[in-house]
Structure 1
Amino acid sequence: MSDPAPGLLVRRARPEDLDAVGDVTVAAYAEFTTGPDDHYVALLRDAARRDREAELWVAERAGEVLGTVTIALPGSPWREISTDDEGEFRMLAVSPAARRQGVGETLTAHALDRFRALGFTGVVLSSLAEMTAAHRVYERHGFRRAPERDWSPMPGVHLIAFVKEL
């Protein structure tokens, strides 16, 4: 199988990446927020907090951050629905200019590899129902819908769950 994203490097975020990570995350989620005053935009932009409280990873090519994912390990406040033996990742984001170039596929594969290496038995994530492009990526990696784990973090926001056994 050929590399889906030639020249793409996945690595832990560095301090000099944090502004770009925030910008990429906000841009990737823009169509799913209510605009700049949406409270969630501040969380999306706060890459420094995610880096402190979880593992923040970036996908970059030629020094440009094209995507990011937050890996929430046990003890991280970024974990939402995972059990102790499950990994959970959040805020997988791909720059709109880099979509359809394998960045999301590569970040998803990296998260799964990371959880496998740590000995987790499964992986879970939550997503908005409208994020259908992301759902296709997850399904290609073997995730299945888990409607029994759907939930709402606040009124008017319904998140759907996906699970994968490792």
Structure 2
Amino acid sequence: MDITIRPVTPEEYATLGEITAQAYLDDGLLDFGESDQYLDELRNVAKRAARADVLVAVAEGQVLGGVTFVPAGGPMADIAREGEAEIRMLAVSPKARGRGVGEALVRACLERARTVEGCARVVLSTQRSMHAAHRIYGRLGFTRTPERDWNPLPDLLDLTLITYELTL
């Protein structure tokens, strides 16, 4: 399969938003199901694209997945510090899993990070149960950074996100 990674177009926002939301729902990553507020964020690709770089993986005219790349601590950064870029909301359509789409998206983010002046590292947060993503990060050389693990909703849930980094 020939996968192309490129910036998302406005015509693809709804498709990528649904792929992202469904990936999180199908994998049981949202604690409140369809009523989860984060689901709205996952579906709102237009908002992300206005504040960060949103990339899609496309093959044979079909959007297979996407990722949000936040260069140098941009407005969508959760954990990135000075000199770091962040990867967020990596999602692959269920029908495209196991075909290298997720890895291609992460590699594209690493390539972008290398072009960002002053960027020395790429960081990301993930849930403990995202085992397929963890395997991708390990294959590409990311290492765990438990000292940076964090909870985005400390008043509501025990949801500790685990973190990884890759020094460029």
Give the TM-score normalised by the residue count of structure 2.
0.93
Correspondent of 1:50 among 48, 51, 57: 48
**Residues paired across the two proteins, number:** 161
Q: In the aligned structure 2, how far is the partner of 1:104 from the partner of 1:11?
A: 14
TM-aligned CA deviation for residue 7 of structure 1: 1.1
The 10-residue stretch of structure 1 (40-49 or 113-122) with the greater mean CA deviation from structure 2:
113-122
Which SS does the other structure have where 1:77 is aligned? coil
Q: Is the aligned partner of 1:152 residue 2:159?
A: no
- Assess if the C-alpha contact under 8 Å between 2:23 and 2:92 holds in 1: yes
Distance 1:95 1:77 in 2: 26
- The match for 2:11 among 5, 16, 29 is 16
The Cα RMSD (Å) is 1.0
Q: Gaps (5+ residues) in structure 1?
A: 1-5
Within 5 Å, which residues of 2 pair with 1:16-95?
16-30=11-25, 31-33=28-30, 34-74=32-72, 76-95=74-93
Q: Distance in 2 between matches of 1:51 and 1:124?
A: 19
**Percent of paired sites with the same residue:** 43
Could you list the per-position Cα deviations for residues 66-99 of structure 1 after superposition, in whole angstroms to 9, with x for gaps in the alignment? 0101011236321011111011110011011110
Of 115, 120, 123, which aligns to 1:117?
115
* 1:126 CA drift (Å): 0.4
